[in-house]
């Protein structure tokens, strides 16, 4: 019995969970189950590299429930290289990458957490020993191998590249210092190496475990002819990043009624006050947090009486700061004296005002912030 690891019934159960995760019709469950079964028979090799990362997305992935992380590692994927969990170190670890590249040409999925710095030959992020030698306080030792070198070696033979988290996808916080390090989003690095290589981005700081696994599953199922791969202009799956937080927020009614939290001591658990005045960026953030929630659905940011900071948006952090000030160009209380119309007016004003503000931030300030270090 012990040899038969995953039964047909378990596949169907998993397929149900996967279909639910991706918002697929129940009619597709048998097909998803078959795809999962094929997947297990030939577990896809994964090489997970870390650039200028903080490991927050890896830790977030550990919080996955459908499937649980032990199932991911033991049953579903062949995790060849992941520096935070793998047993081997040093040359034995990097040899795994080299072997995987040789044996699985065109088959492995390259996952990248954190952006890749390009300045100074890539020396701001290195791992593994390079070809040359260097001086270490009078001793001769092997040189360092830059992350950018690894990308040049691994991108051409990868089946696809998955950028995990806001900084790998869009530059994120490390990009604020791009003028020094040359920190670059994964998509751009890949395009420079092989412009036809498929890249998918998973936003979020950190990325939600469902977004990581779901995006990967969507891509894998799509390659098997199941479901569709509907990406937005940032190459994110619309399944997870297609809806505005504000539109699905459990506190939307408070916003429409014009009841806002202004002092954390005056919070009323039953009223569920709107966090707009505390700086909520839900009106400009596309993610499914209100319905998906976090940490086994225990809570989410607004659920803890705190504003959404817009961490899933390409504009995060710099262009959404100050985080605890209301979004500009929206004067809700100044617009209407009556409670009946305030919500309607507020909603209309928000759509126009925030939209304009957001566009300005996205288009106007991006160039300014990326060379912010030179002032």
Partner 1 sequence: MGQMISIDPVTRIEGHLRIDVEIEGGKVKDAWSSGTMFRGFEMLLKGKHPFDAQQVTERICGVCPLAHGTASSYNLDDALGVELPDNARLIRNLCLGANFIQSHILHFYHLAALDYVDVTAVLNYSGSDQALLLLKGKISKLAQANDLYPFMPRYDSGDYVSDPGLATTLVGHYVQAFEMRKKAHEMLSIFYGRVPSFVGTVPGGVTQPPTIGNVLAFRSRLSELRRWINEVYVEDIKTIAGVSAYKPFLTAGDSGGNYLAYGGFDEDSRGDKKFLPRGVIFGNDIMNVMPMDEKKLTESVAHSWYKEECEGLHPSEGKTEPDLEKKEGYSFIKSPRYNEKPMEVGPLARLLVKKPEMFVKLASDLGLLTMKPLQFGILPRHAARAIECKIIADEMDNWLNQLKPGDPIWDKKGIPSEARGRGLVEAARGALGHWIEISGKKIKNYQCIVPTTWNASPRDKNGNRGPIENSLVGVPVPDPDNPINVVRCVRSFDPCLACAIHIIHPDHNGVKAFRVV
Per CB under 8 A, does 373 bind partner 1?
yes
Active site residue 125: no
Note whether 74 and 122 are within 8 A (CB): no
**β-pairing verdict for 45-50 and 116-117:** unpaired
**The 3-state secondary structure of 248-268, one letter per residue:** HCCCHHHHHHCCECCCHHHCC
Cα end-to-end span (Å), the chain? 68
User: Of residues 33, 112, 144, 288, which one binds partner 1 by CB under 8 A?
Assistant: 144
119 or 365: CB nearest partner 1: 119
Active site residue 309: no
24 or 162: CB nearest partner 1: 162
Per CB under 8 A, does 149 bind partner 1?
no
227 or 310: CB nearest partner 1: 310
User: Of residues 67, 128, 214, 326, which one binds partner 1 by CB under 8 A?
Assistant: 128
Cross-strand partners of 286? 244
Per CB under 8 A, does 96 bind partner 1?
yes
Active site residue 280: yes
Active site residue 100: no
Per CB under 8 A, contacts with partner 1 among 210-249 are none
Note whether 356 and 331 are within 8 A (CB): no
Per CB under 8 A, contacts with partner 1 among 46-85 are 50-60, 62-63, 68-70, 73-75, 78-85
Active site residue 246: yes
User: Of residues 106, 137, 337, 363, which one binds partner 1 by CB under 8 A?
Assistant: 137
- Distance in angstroms (rounded) separating the CA atoms of residues 230 and 219: 10
Note whether 211 and 202 are within 8 A (CB): yes
Determine phi and psi for 68, rounding to 5 degrees.
Answer: -75, 160
Determine phi and psi for 10, rounding to 5 degrees.
Answer: -65, -40
Using DSSP, state whether 163 is helix, strand or coil: strand
User: Of residues 325, 331, 340, 368, which one binds partner 1 by CB under 8 A?
Assistant: 325
Per CB under 8 A, contacts with partner 1 among 156-195 are 173-174, 176-177, 179-181, 183
User: Of residues 127, 198, 224, 242, which one binds partner 1 by CB under 8 A?
Assistant: 127
User: Of residues 140, 225, 233, 338, which one binds partner 1 by CB under 8 A?
Assistant: 140
Using DSSP, state whether 352 is helix, strand or coil: helix
Determine phi and psi for 298, rounding to 5 degrees.
Answer: -65, -40
CB of 336 to partner 1, least distance (A): 27
- Distance in angstroms (rounded) separating the CA atoms of residues 184 and 42: 33
User: Of residues 300, 314, 346, 353, which one binds partner 1 by CB under 8 A?
Assistant: 300
- Distance in angstroms (rounded) separating the CA atoms of residues 151 and 47: 11
Q: Which stretch binds partner 1 (CB under 8 A): 22-30, 43-51, 155-163, 215-223?
A: 43-51
Annotated catalytic sites, by residue? 54, 57, 167, 205, 246, 249, 274, 280, 289, 301, 308, 311
């Amino acid at each position: 019995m012990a040899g038969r690891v995953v039964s047909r019934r378990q596949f169907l159960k998993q397929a149900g969970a996967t279909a639910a995760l991706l918002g697929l019709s129940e009619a597709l469950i048998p097909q998803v189950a078959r795809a999962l079964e094929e997947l297990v028979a030939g577990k896809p090799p994964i090489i997970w590299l870390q650039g200028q990362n903080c490991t927050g997305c890896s830790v977030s992935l550990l919080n996955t429930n459908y499937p649980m992380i032990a199932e991911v590692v033991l049953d579903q994927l062949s995790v060849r290289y992941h520096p935070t969990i793998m047993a081997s170190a040093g040359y034995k670890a990097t040899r795994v990458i080299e072997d995987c590249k040789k044996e699985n040409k065109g088959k492995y999925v390259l996952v990248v957490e954190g952006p890749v710095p390009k300045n100074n030959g890539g020396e701001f992020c290195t791992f593994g020993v390079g070809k040359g030698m260097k001086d270490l306080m009078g001793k001769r030792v092997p040189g360092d191998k830059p992350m950018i070198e690894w990308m040049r070696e691994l991108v051409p033979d990868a089946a696809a590249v998955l950028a995990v988290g806001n900084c790998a996808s869009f530059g994120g916080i490390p990009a604020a210092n791009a003028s020094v390090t040359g920190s670059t989003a994964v998509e751009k690095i890949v395009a420079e190496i092989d412009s036809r290589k498929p890249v998918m981005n998973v936003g979020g700081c950190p990325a939600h475990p469902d977004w990581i696994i779901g995006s990967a599953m969507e891509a894998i199922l799509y390659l098997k002819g199941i479901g569709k791969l509907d990406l937005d202009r940032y190459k994110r799956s619309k399944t997870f990043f297609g809806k505005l937080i504000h539109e699905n927020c459990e506190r939307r009614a408070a916003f429409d009624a014009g009841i806002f939290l202004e002092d954390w001591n005056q919070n009323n658990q039953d009223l569920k006050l709107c966090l707009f005045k505390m700086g909520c960026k839900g009106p400009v953030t596309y993610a499914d947090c209100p319905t998906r929630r976090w940490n086994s659905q225990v809570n989410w940011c607004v659920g803890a009486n705190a504003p959404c900071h817009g961490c899933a948006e390409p504009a995060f952090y710099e262009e959404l700061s100050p985080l605890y000030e209301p979004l500009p160009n929206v004067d809700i209380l100044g617009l209407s004296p009556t409670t009946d119309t305030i919500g309607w007016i507020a909603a209309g004003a928000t759509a126009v005002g925030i939209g304009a503000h957001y566009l300005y931030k996205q288009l106007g300030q991006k160039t300014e912030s990326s060379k912010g270090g030179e002032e």
